[in-house]
Amino acid sequence: MPLIDPLLLKKLLGPLAGRFDVDALVECDSTNSELMRRAAQGAPSGAVIVADQQSAGRGRRGRSWLSSPDDSLMFSLLWRHTGDPARIGGLSLAVGVALAEALGALGAQGVCLKWPNDVLLRQGQSFAKLAGILIELSSDRRGLQVVIGIGLNLYKPAQALPQASAGLSEVLMPLPDRHALLAAILASLVVVLDDFAVDGFCGLKTRWERCHAWQGRQVDLSGGEGEAVLSGRCAGVDQDGALLLETAQGVQRILAGDLSLRLA
Ligand code: BTN
């Protein structure tokens, strides 16, 4: 499979090309780890690393992220947040909106979001994971450095995974060329991040809820060990990106942490 050609990508990004600085690698440990190292050395906002293969791809909650080179698109984007760090809540949900909307605009149907930022594909009554988002923050004298890592399954992963998984090819055939796909996602991300820089998650809340797989559905919230912590009805999210769960004790505000949700 050919590497991403940064020049072709630039062409496809059109007027937004100047916002990105793309490096395509055959292999690295993790595009997030590599970009965090480069961020520490002063890489600019808009730096992107896309890799064909990761030897130590990472997922949320310390999990590893396995993917085979031909079957997925893996990249990370560095975004330097110069605004108030207290307003960073909701960023990971904002990134989910950008990704789900970009895929929808390309014609993929049934792409939706599970709080906080899993990208799922609706399959009848059930849902399967289509993409994962890993956001890592660090700060230095220049401000807050945000590394946004995305792993998108182009084809359904062959290996057995703890969670049902899906590939974009199930809803978008023929698949767009990887350059067109990456350009569409980056363009969507930059627009959403620009909005986020001004208004925080506030202006994106309704768009997130429009994509929310389980809006109004009864769910169980479980802790790190899988034990049920709370049950309730998903009433959406607030302007900080906290999940609002209607329980017998009233509406509870759930902030992202070592928690996972499943349909009751
Ligand atoms: C999740 O657990 O759902 C998040 C998975 C994120 C995987 C992507 S692949 C590109 C980037 N580099 C990594 O090491 N992880 C993210």
85 contacts: CB under 8 Å, gap ≥ 6: 139, 143, 144
Instruction: For ligand 1, say whether the CB of 59 is within 6 Å of any of its atoms.
Output: yes
Q: Which atom of ligand 1 is nearest to the CA of 61?
A: 2
Mutate to test the pocket of ligand 1, among 73, 74, 148 (most ligand atoms within 8 A of CB): 74
Report the C-alpha gap between 134 and 117 in whole angstroms: 9
Give backbone dihedrals phi and psi of 177, rounded to 5 degrees, phi first: -55, 150
Burial of 25 (0-12, 13-18, 19+ CB in 10 A): middle
Active site residues: 60, 129, 262
User: Which among 155, 164, 159 has a CA at the least distance from the CA of 122?
Assistant: 164
Q: In b/e form, how buried is each residue of 108-132, taking b as 16+ CB within 10 angstroms?
A: bebbbbbbbbbbbbbeeeebbbbbb
Q: Identify the pLDDT of residue 84.
A: 78
**Does the beta carbon of 60 lie inside 6 Å of ligand 1?**
yes
**CB of 65 shorter than 6 A to ligand 1:** yes
Using a 6 Å cutoff on CB, does residue 31 contact ligand 1?
yes
Q: How far is residue 76's CA from residue 231's CA, in Å, rounded to a whole number? A: 34
At 181 the pLDDT is 97
* Pocket flag, ligand 1, residue 30 (CB < 6 Å): yes
Angle (CA) 85-90-93 rounded to 5° is 140
In order along its 264 residues, the chain shows pLDDT tens digits of 568 999 999 999 999 999 999 999 999 999 999 999 999 999 999 999 999 999 999 998 888 998 887 899 999 999 998 877 888 889 999 999 999 999 999 999 999 999 988 999 999 989 999 999 999 999 888 889 999 999 999 999 988 877 899 999 999 999 999 999 999 999 999 999 999 999 899 999 999 999 999 999 999 888 766 666 789 999 999 999 999 999 999 999 998 655 567 777
* Among protein residues, the one whose CA lies closest to atom 3 of ligand 1: 132
Q: Return the ligand 1 atom nearest residue 31 CA.
A: 12
